[in-house]
């Protein structure tokens, strides 16, 4: 079941967000890391969305942010 902050909680332990607090030290060059939260619960008809649909939705949301 999806709950608020599910994406953050998935990558966190003891107050540390792995993507922010540990991954950068393992990379040879700086990188921008994004966390994209989406509803994967079949109870909300999300199962009808393919991975490609989710990717296109992410690209659309990014393009909207760049227009701001």
What total of structural domains would you count in the chain? 1
pLDDT tens by residue, 5-63: 888 888 899 999 998 899 988 999 988 888 887 776 665 555 577 888 888 988 998 99
Asked if residue 53 is part of any domain, the answer here is yes
Query: Of 32, 66, 47, 33, nearest to 2 (Cα)?
Result: 47
Asked if residue 12 is part of any domain, the answer here is yes
Asked if residue 1 is part of any domain, the answer here is no
Q: Which residues contact 16 (CB under 8 A, 6 or more apart)?
A: 22
Asked if residue 32 is part of any domain, the answer here is yes
- The predicted pLDDT at position 44 comes to 57
Asked if residue 22 is part of any domain, the answer here is yes
Residue 53, domain extent: 6-67
């Amino acid at each position: 079941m999806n709950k608020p902050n599910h994406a953050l909680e998935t990558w966190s332990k003891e107050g540390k967000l792995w993507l922010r607090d540990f991954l950068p030290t393992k990379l040879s060059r700086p990188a921008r890391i994004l966390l994209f939260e989406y509803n994967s619960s079949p109870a909300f008809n999300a199962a009808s969305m393919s991975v490609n649909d989710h990717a296109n939705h992410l690209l659309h949301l990014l393009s909207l942010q760049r227009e701001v």
